[in-house]
């Protein structure tokens, strides 16, 4: 994999108090859509800000687009949508795009045509002459994405691009992301919307408490966790679960009394049949039997549960006396 972002051991200590990043390793390959997820306060935006040179890391080794992290010259090839952007409200969206184009060194003719093209891409042409102050959150977010593309970037970094965007808008943004990938660009995004990430990302990473807990394709992350799920017509009790478990010795299975699913961790349909017989013998109605693969949400919840501190925003408070760089 040729890496567009390749960093190791990134640490960030805010004002000697909050250890926001505790040694993060991250590799993002050229041309992929990479999703970074994690609970509030996990350190996602901090990592993005380090990459974008908005803040400096306490420790950091690695490169972005072949340049050392912190080298601002790499940014000419990067488009960035910050988490809480606040573009001037007195400008129209067309003016905002032209302004960011000018700041990125795009010549006047190109930035004028590109602004109009991008307004079309984010479906904002009709409001192009309205001031940003009159826009809804979702409309501002669309302009934020267009702004990130004004310099024709190789790498697009989007911190919560679908924040405040309605379902139709989110679908539009997914299409934009896939289009960017189709154009050969690399996309790196943070999002809380796990199902969205699942739909578009080639690879994902789960960050908890300032550390990467998992990184890979969704198939890699779910490997060994797939199996079969039996859905029953009504809630099952403990004895029924035990009876189905006893029928398939050697196959790991999970079910909870009061629910109506049992999951068997095997990819062999034949191995599950005795469990079905055991359930039928107890007159349990089988509604469906299907392949089960954990969702990104399942993986996320598992990663957070394994590190319960990480679910608390602000959990990275450094111990007294620990030294670190100021932000
Ligand atoms: N400027 C700052 N000064 C001090 N602490 C900060 C600063 N910015 C962030 N933090 C702390 O660093 C930790 C990581 O914050 P960060 O914004 O990176 O999290 P996040 O994963 O992006 O969260 P969210 O999903 O809510 O956007 C948090 O504990 C936060 O309080
Ligand atoms: Mg954030």
Tokens 């190791």 — which residue?
8
Is residue 45 lining ligand 1, measured as CB closer than 6 Å? Answer: yes
* CATH number for the domain that contains residue 89: 3.40.50.300
Q: Running along the chain, 327 residues long, what does each successive block of 10 average in pLDDT?
A: 92 91 95 93 95 95 95 94 91 95 94 96 92 90 94 96 86 92 96 84 93 88 80 93 92 90 87 92 91 81 73 53 42
Q: How many domains does the chain have?
A: 2
Supply the pLDDT for residue 322.
41
Q: How many angstroms is it from 1 CA to the middle of ligand 2?
A: 27
Ligand 1 atom 31: residue of nearest CA: 314
Closest CA to 188 of 224, 153, 142: 153
Is residue 148 located within the same domain as residue 279?
Answer: no
Strands 227-232 and 186-190: unpaired
In a domain, 319, yes or no: no
- Predicted model pTM: 0.83
* CATH number for the domain that contains residue 263: 3.30.70
Supply the pLDDT for residue 306.
79
Residue 286: give the domain boundaries: 226-292
Supply the pLDDT for residue 327.
45
Ligand 1 atom 12: residue of nearest CA: 20
Is residue 245 located within the same domain as residue 135?
Answer: no
Q: How many angstroms is it from 43 CA to the middle of ligand 2?
A: 7
Nearest bound ligand to the CA of residue 40: 1
81 torsion bin: left (phi>0), alpha (psi -120 to 50), beta (else)? beta
Angle among Cα 225, 211, 203 to the nearest 5 degrees reads 50
Q: How many angstroms is it from 122 CA to the middle of ligand 2?
A: 23
Ligand 1 atom 2: residue of nearest CA: 14
Under 8 Å between Cβ of 193 and 170: yes
Is residue 82 lining ligand 1, measured as CB closer than 6 Å? Answer: no
Question: Whole-number mean pLDDT of the chain?
Answer: 89
Is residue 58 lining ligand 1, measured as CB closer than 6 Å? Answer: no
Q: How many angstroms is it from 49 CA to the middle of ligand 2?
A: 10
Is residue 191 located within the same domain as residue 98?
Answer: yes
Is residue 56 located within the same domain as residue 157?
Answer: yes
In a domain, 152, yes or no: yes
* Listed residues 165, 199, 221: the one ending a domain: 221
Is residue 233 located within the same domain as residue 202?
Answer: no
Residue 102 has which token pair? 């000018």
* Listed residues 195, 221, 247: the one ending a domain: 221
Is residue 98 located within the same domain as residue 205?
Answer: yes
* Listed residues 163, 194, 221: the one ending a domain: 221
Supply the pLDDT for residue 297.
82
Is residue 102 located within the same domain as residue 234?
Answer: no
Supply the pLDDT for residue 197.
85
When computed from its CA atoms, the radius of gyration of the chain, rounded to whole angstroms, is: 24
Under 8 Å between Cβ of 8 and 25: yes
Residues with CB under 5 A from ligand 2 (ion): 44-45, 83
Is residue 107 located within the same domain as residue 142?
Answer: yes
């Amino acid at each position: 994999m040729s890496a567009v972002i390749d960093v190791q051991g990134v640490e960030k200590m805010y004002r000697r108090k909050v250890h926001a990043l505790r040694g993060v390793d991250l590799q993002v390959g050229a041309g992929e859509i990479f999703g970074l997820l994690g609970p509030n306060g996990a350190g996602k935006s901090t990592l993005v800000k380090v990459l974008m040179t908005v803040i400096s890391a306490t420790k950091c080794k690695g490169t972005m687009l072949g340049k050392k992290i912190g080298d601002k010259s790499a940014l000419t090839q990067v488009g960035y949508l910050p988490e809480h952007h606040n573009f001037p409200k007195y400008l129209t969206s067309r003016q905002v795009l032209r302004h960011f184009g000018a700041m990125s060194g795009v010549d006047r003719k190109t930035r004028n045509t590109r602004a109009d093209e991008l307004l079309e891409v984010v479906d904002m042409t009709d409001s192009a002459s309205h001031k940003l102050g009159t826009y809804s959150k979702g409309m501002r977010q669309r302009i934020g994405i267009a702004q990130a593309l004004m310099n024709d970037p190789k790498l697009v970094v989007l911190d919560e691009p679908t924040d405040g965007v309605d379902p139709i808008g989110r679908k539009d943004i997914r299409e934009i992301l896939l289009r960017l990938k189709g154009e050969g660009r690399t996309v790196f995004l943070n999002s809380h919307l796990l199902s969205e990430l699942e739909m578009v990302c080639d690879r994902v990473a789960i960050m908890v408490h300032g550390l990467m807990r998992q990184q890979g394709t969704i198939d890699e992350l779910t490997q060994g966790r797939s199996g079969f799920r039996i859905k029953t017509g009504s809630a099952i009790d403990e004895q029924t679960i035990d009876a189905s478990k006893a029928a398939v010795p050697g196959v790991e299975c999970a079910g909870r009394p009061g629910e109506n699913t049992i999951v068997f961790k095997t990819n062999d349909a034949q191995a599950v049949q005795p469990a079905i017989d055991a359930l039928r013998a107890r007159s349990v109605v089988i509604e469906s039997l299907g392949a089960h693969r954990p969702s990104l949400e399942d993986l996320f919840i598992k990663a957070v549960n394994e590190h319960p501190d990480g679910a608390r925003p602000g959990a990275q408070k450094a111990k007294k006396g620990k030294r670190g760089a100021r932000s």
